[in-house]
Amino acid sequence: MQSLQAKAAEWSGVDSADAFAIDESNLFEKLGLQAFVNLSTNFYSRVYDDEQEWFRSIFASSKKEDAIQNQYEFFVQRMGGPNLYSQRRGHPALIARHRPFPVTHEAAERWLHHMQQALDTSSDIDAESKLKMMNFFRHTAFFLVAGDELKKNQIQAQQPPPCKHGTSDNHHACKKI
Ligand code: HEM
């Protein structure tokens, strides 16, 4: 079976070397905390204002301020800064934390669209860092899509076989709901 990393590379078009170029230099030291706070604030302002209701609704159960803090703390930690995210939230476990949400190919593209716009309008991040970050985001977004597809397959495998008779109201697959 193809690994999640391999699927992420194939679907995103970003290979692992480019995705993890963020590890070659310390982007947190280069950019500073405020650049990350600004980026996540910019990103989530776009997401919570999205004209496309299907995408906006994915975030409906989270408060915008919390989503911003979760995101920039994770980015800071992942890009060479202090472990702010794990001190507050524990292990990132991104696939598990995205389990409640429909992380489809379309959702990944919409997420990346907003992130690209947020980066394009960030004057406190240089062009080279933007490119490195976007490659990491693109690869990670499709890594999460691959994780989401795994979840769907697991749920399918757990389904009882379709009922042949449709006679018993108590039978698990025959309930008319
Ligand atoms: C692919 C499309 C994506 C969708 C639809 C999506 C959706 C969501 C949603 C609905 C939340 C909950 C908001 C909150 O309460 O924090 C969330 C949280 C989060 N996402 Fe995503 N996300 C996507 C991609 C990504 C990517 C690419 C990254 C990292 C590069 C990422 C990192 C995070 C982090 C760190 C959190 C906070 C988790 C927590 O602490 O509970 N997400 N995401």
Q: How far is the CA of 156 from the centre of ligand 1 (A)?
A: 24
162 falls in which pLDDT band (50, 70, 90)? low
The more confidently predicted of residues 172 and 100 is 100
Rg (CA), the chain: 19
DSSP string, 70-124: HHHHHHHHHTTS--HHHHHH----HHHHTTTS---HHHHHHHHHHHHHHHHT-TT
Quick one: pLDDT at residue 48? 98
Q: Which of 12-16, 68-72, 126-130, 173-177 has the lowest mean pLDDT?
A: 173-177
Q: Is the CB of 71 under 6 A from ligand 1?
A: yes
Quick one: pLDDT at residue 172? 45
Is the full-model pTM beyond 0.95? no
What's the pLDDT tens digit per position in 147-157?
999 988 888 78
Q: Which two tokens stand for residue 144?
A: 């999460």
Q: Is the CB of 101 under 6 A from ligand 1?
A: yes
Domains observed in the chain: 4-158 (1.10.490.10)
Q: How far is the CA of 147 from the centre of ligand 1 (A)?
A: 13
Closest by CA to 118, choosing from 56, 57, 52, 40, is: 40
Q: Which two tokens stand for residue 129?
A: 């860092």
Quick one: pLDDT at residue 164? 59
Q: How far is the CA of 59 from the centre of ligand 1 (A)?
A: 9
The more confidently predicted of residues 150 and 11 is 11
| C-alpha span between 2 and 11 (Å, rounded) | 12
140 φ/ψ sector (left φ>0, alpha ψ -120 to 50, else beta): alpha
